[in-house]
Amino acid sequence: MTIVDCRPFLAVGVSLLAALLVAFSDKRPNVREAWSTIASFIKFGIILSMVPAVLNGDVYTYTLCQITDTVGLTLRTDPAGMIFATLASMLWVPINFYSIGYMRCNNEGEQTGYFAAFAVCMSACMGIALAENLLTFFIFYELLTLASWPLVLHKRNDEALLASRKYLIYTLISGQLFLAGVIAVYCIAGSIDFRAGGLLTIDMAPKWVLQSVFVLMILAGSVKAAVMPLHGWLPAAMIAPTPVSALLHAVAVVKTGVFCVLRIVCFVFGPKLLAQLGIIDCLAWAAAISILVSSMIALRQDNLKRRLAFSTVGQLSYIVLGAALISPLSIKGAYLHLVAHAVMKITLFMCAGLIITRTHRNNISEMYGIGKKLPVTMACFTIASLGIAGMPFIVGFISKWNLALGALQAGKPLYILVWVASALLAAGYLMPVCQMAYFRSDPREKFIQYGAFSLKMLVPICVTTAISVALGVIPNIYPHFYRLAVMASEAICAGWTGGWL
């Protein structure tokens, strides 16, 4: 059943409004941060209020206006979009508290602009998650690029300038190519509304045209999803404050990238057409290679944030690979891993930020004995690390299990080896951090603690860790990510079994 309801737009609008209010409360930090906190709760509430109906198979839809002569600015809550919307709005609550603590403890400048841009980013995320057609999607996609650009530039020094330019170069070029792809889809299919299972069919255009349109569009997703060799911007963008890294690399930007890949693969082209076109294998190879290569690069990074960044590159490619295998289980696994990686990686980045704030140590080789000084933080870090490595009862396991089964279902069992290898590598690059923290003592016997202890930073870490354990033990716990992923994958793969089993 389709329900016409403006709630999707309220979810987008609430943080845009918050951004305005934040910008106008420049002189009063407490008021400013209150706006963004209130907005984060309201947004999460709005999204949660739509979850039951979506689980029932209903769809909320609303058209704000005709954005061109034939296309509407329309939001629509399908299960796939709801997964992302729920995830992003859920994680904004802790990351917002963490931001407040982090920015204050580190005496960062330009905080007004920071919180305003952050709120706009979250609006763009909601829009991307719930967009009903490619044009609406593209509008919010570019809005996200623009709103996250000042966040990368936050430090306002030469390094930040270079990183932000690199970011813009990657995202704007791919965005324009994406636009060309959208135009082509519109002219070929006569519509750009997402349809589960694909809106293009093989008889609409010559094969080579469809293949080149796919390449144009998938490039945009791959850039934001940091699939190698298009990942260059991501480690560079690590110059931004840590909450931004957590946002960019766990919730917003990179996730919109993989979400974009999933939308294109499942809702524009569809598994059946892609199996006929054959070009999807190239994406699968690229993803597999970037899983392995980025994990190996991560092994060699000493800077904690950079190591996490390369780990992100690898983990995102899991999701892309899941999409590229186009079997029902792998797509379900991809949606689940979207959630799983977000929860784990946000925890890891928040831990890294807290360590940097409290000890001013950026490099893993300096992190002697911080396990004893920051016990809770390191405990959370360890749990999240185990999750990344794929341990059962932590959130990452179920998704990887589904992804591996999906590879079998698609008749490409060799990809399972990629996952096994990368799990081992993940353990290889994250466990040394824990080992350093717990079992090595400081040779200088000097441990300086900087800054005040802030519960605003610690509590969000504990919350996300708790979420990652809860989702690992009971995958279908409220708000029912598992059920949503199953619904999404069933809708996409109606009458398609993946080709082998």
Contact residues toward other proteins (CB under 8 A) are 65-69, 71, 73, 135, 138-139, 142-143, 146, 150, 153, 156, 161, 164-165, 168, 172-173, 176-177, 179-180, 183-184, 186-187
Name the residue nearer to other proteins (CB basis): 67 or 466: 67
Select 184 or 343, whichever has its Cβ closest to other proteins.
Answer: 184
What's the closest the beta carbon of residue 47 comes to other proteins, in angstroms? 22
CB of 4 to other proteins, least distance (A): 19
Specify the residue, 28 or 360, whose C-beta has the smaller distance to other proteins: 28
Supply the minimum distance, in Å, between the C-beta of residue 170 and other proteins.
12
Distance of CA 82 to the CA centre of its chain: 14
Cβ neighbours for 291, distance < 8 A, ≥ 6 positions apart: 314, 317, 318, 321, 418, 419, 422
Provide φ and ψ at 228, rounded to 5°: -65, 140
Instruction: Give whichever of 63 and 276 is closer to other proteins, judged by the CB atom.
Output: 63
Distance CA 459, CA 318 (A): 29
- Would you say 164 or 330 has its CB closer to other proteins? 164
* Closer CB to other proteins, 186 or 438, in the complex: 186
Smallest gap from residue 142 Cβ to other proteins (A): 5
Beta carbon of residue 274, minimum distance to other proteins (angstroms, whole number): 22
DSSP state of 248: I
CB-wise, 71 or 248, nearer to other proteins?
71
Cβ distance to other proteins smaller for residue 73 or 457: 73
Residues forming beta bridges with residue 2, ordered by sequence position = 59
**What's the rounded Cα separation, in Å, for the pair 274 and 305?**
36
Helix (H, G, I), strand (E, B) or coil at 498: coil
- Report yes or no: 394 and 457 within 8 Å, Cβ to Cβ: no
370: Cα separation from own chain's centroid? 29
Q: How far is the CB of 332 from other proteins (least distance, A)?
A: 32
Residue 404: name the closest of 336, 466, 345, 491 by CA.
336
Q: Answer whether 218's CB lies under 8 Å from 185's CB.
A: no
Residues 234 and 249: their CA atoms lie apart, in Å, by 8
DSSP three-state, residue 485: helix
To other proteins, the closest distance from the beta carbon of 34 in angstroms equals 22
d(C-alpha 105, C-alpha 451), whole Å: 6
> DSSP string spanning 252-294?
SHHHHHHHHHHIIIIIII-HHHHHHH-THHHHHHHHHHHHHHH
- The least distance separating other proteins from the CB of residue 168, rounded to whole angstroms, comes to 6
